[in-house]
Amino acid sequence: MRILVIEDNHQTASMISLGLKQSGHVVLTAYDGESGLDMVMHEKCDILVLDLMLPDIDGLEVLSRIRKSNIPWIPSPTTPSFSTTRACPFLSVPSIGPLTMHRLRKASILP
């Protein structure tokens, strides 16, 4: 699976990437919304791990711009759960909620 991590905190992005790579996934990393959008448009990604509180273009804007791509996404572990709940209903982008994140961790797909 090709996973794009869009996370501005380099340490968090490294931890997520390491866990995913150790599970056998190909991981692409972007440290801001603009770079993440560019990667979504030019790279094949199966899923996004997205920080909704990015400094330049926030995660909600990233989601609104990639709406037509239907790439499923998981909030970065640093994203408060209330933001995800508020984001999902109006964006029409598939979201993988906290329960699925738990299942992915149990399956060693996420750290």
The residues spanned by each domain of the chain are 2-106
The first and second tokens of residue 86, run together, are 């508020």
Instruction: Report the distance separating Cα 93 and Cα 109, nearest Å.
Output: 21
Phi, psi angle pair for 25, to nearest 5°: -95, 155
- Give the pLDDT of residue 88: 44
Task: Report which of 22, 80, 17, 21 is spatially closest to residue 49, judged by C-alpha positions.
Answer: 17
Q: What is the pTM of this model?
A: 0.74
Q: Which residue has the tokens 């920080």?
A: 51
- Give the pLDDT of residue 66: 87
Per-residue pLDDT for the chain (111 aa), expressed as one digit of tens each?
A: 899 999 999 988 988 888 888 878 899 999 999 999 999 999 999 889 999 889 889 888 999 888 888 888 888 877 665 444 444 443 444 444 554 555 556 555 555
If you classify domain 2-106 with CATH, what class do you get?
alpha beta
- Give the pLDDT of residue 81: 53
Instruction: Report the distance separating Cα 111 and Cα 104, nearest Å.
Output: 9
- Give the pLDDT of residue 108: 53
Instruction: Report the distance separating Cα 18 and Cα 34, nearest Å.
Output: 23
